[in-house]
Amino acid sequence: MTYNFDDPIERKGSQCIKYDAVGDFLGSDDLIPMWVADMDFRTPPFVMEALRKRLEHEVMGYPVRPEGFFNSIIDWNRRNHQWEVGRKWITFSPGVVPAVNMAVLAYTEPGDSIITQPPVYFPFFTAVKDHGRKLLYNQLILKNGRLCMDFDDLEKKASAGAKMIIISSPHNPGGSVWTQSELSRLAEICLKYKVLMVSDEIHCDLVYQPYKHIPLASLSPKIAAQTVTTIAPSKTFNLSGLSTAAVIISDEILRKKFTQVMEHLHIGGGSIMGNIALEAAYTGGDDWSKQLMAYLGKNLDFLEKYLEEKIHCVKMIRPEATFLVWLDCKGLNLPEDELKNFFLNTAKLGLNPGVMFGPGGEGYMRMNIGCTLATLNKALDQLRDAVDELGLGNRK
Ligand SMILES: Cc1ncc(COP(=O)(O)O)c(C=O)c1O
């Protein structure tokens, strides 16, 4: 089946945060929303069909996760990531961010140090700080147009007694797909200093050719035993509103600690529609994800060419994964507040300011290209006109 990602759908009025709460979050409604990380594409028909089928049964009582839920996760990871996940290793979370927070609660104490790698997905910072843990920055470094890890600095922080590291793999917002050698080096340091690795792999199925996602825990049983992996179908299949993620922990003691926190919070039940969607997505989603990545790849090529030809002062860090693009806007020469206002009020585009992602985000904006090519084209025309208004003379 061929999926049509060009077909527009009106999202306004569908109780979605991206369109319906954009004014509350960004301060303006009159813009093209390219911020929060969901896509403007329809959730795939095979997922919608499974949901509709369940709706025909008119009782929405407490759910239980069937074996098919677990098997779909095992088979998806075997097929797509060559990762053999044990049935017992899989537990649940109502989202990846809740899972990261539960991991912080389960494995660390107030006052403990936890490493993050900014610029990075900002809820990692609050997951550390809101629970009274100490936030350490192992800053990523831009090398040849790619955000890379700084292992010397990581070793300093790990050896100083950090208890945990939270990584985004692939990386949001930089789009780096961590290589086997990068992950091995990171794991080597973390094993040496007993730093627990929390690997947020929510973007693992959104990888562009020729890159390949490697699950951190797939590197070796020893690494798996010190790793908590979080995955979800939510980004790839556009079903974030169904609040369903999986947490994979091979070590029995670590797993027990995690599930205890979840039980204490009484959030392990999940939602029946989320369970059904996850199973349907991981069972029937191979073709969809390939076609999605081909479409997003074309959007990316279009964006790159457009910037090169018409907006020289904005440069993109070409992502190896994700529909999120890290735009270097330093060429606009605007202080942070003015940069944000320029995108909102002059270009009328709702992007995430880079500073939200911590140190290293200064002068950057994050653009969500999970939209139709027509929307992306319109957005770039608006940006080009706004840059012209600044008098930077970028038009060729
Ligand atoms: C790296 C990363 N982790 C987690 C999430 C959100 O996860 P959830 O909605 O399952 O809490 C996002 C969403 O943008 C993300 O980029």
Confidence of residue 391 (pLDDT cuts 50, 70, 90): confident
Q: What is the rounded CA–CA span in Å between residue 72 and residue 161?
A: 38
* Nearest CA owner, ligand 1 atom 7: 96
Ligand 1 centroid–CA 235 distance in Å is 8
Please tell me whether residue 19 adopts helix, strand or coil conformation: helix
Q: Which domains does the chain have, with CATH numbers?
A: 17-44+286-389 (3.90.1150.10), 60-284 (3.40.640.10)
- Which of 16, 25, 198, 235 is the pocket-test mutation for ligand 1 (most atoms within 8 Å of CB)? 235
Compute the Cα dihedral for 52, 55, 61, 67 and give only its sign: negative
Average pLDDT over residues 104-133: 98
pLDDT tops 90 at residue 113: yes
Ligand 1 centroid–CA 96 distance in Å is 6
Ligand 1 centroid–CA 97 distance in Å is 6
Q: What is the rounded CA–CA span in Å between residue 151 and residue 181?
A: 12
> Does the pTM of the predicted model rise above 0.85?
yes
Ligand 1 centroid–CA 120 distance in Å is 11
Average pLDDT over residues 168-184: 98
Exposed, middle or buried, 130 (CB in 10 Å: 0-12/13-18/19+)? exposed
User: pLDDT per residue over 190-236, tens digit each?
Assistant: 999 999 999 999 999 999 999 999 999 999 999 999 999 999 999 99
User: pLDDT per residue over 25-77, tens digit each?
Assistant: 999 989 999 999 999 999 999 999 999 999 999 999 999 999 999 999 999 99
* Nearest CA owner, ligand 1 atom 13: 37
140 φ, ψ to 5°? -75, 155
Instruction: Indicate the average pLDDT of the chain.
Output: 97
- Which of 202, 206, 213, 357 is the pocket-test mutation for ligand 1 (most atoms within 8 Å of CB)? 202
The reported pLDDT for the residue numbered 393 is: 59
Question: Which long-range contacts does 327-331 make (Cβ < 8 Å, 24+ apart)?
Answer: 327/351, 327/364, 327/365, 327/366, 327/367, 328/363, 328/364, 329/354, 329/363, 329/364, 329/365, 330/363, 330/364, 331/392
Ligand 1 centroid–CA 151 distance in Å is 25
Shortest-distance atom of ligand 1 to CA 37: 14
User: pLDDT per residue over 313-340, tens digit each?
Assistant: 999 999 999 999 999 999 999 999 999 9
Residues with CB under 6 A from ligand 1: 37, 95-97, 121, 168, 172, 200, 202, 232, 234, 240, 245
Ligand 1 centroid–CA 51 distance in Å is 22
Are β-strands 364-368 and 352-353 bridged in parallel, bridged antiparallel, or unpaired?
Answer: antiparallel
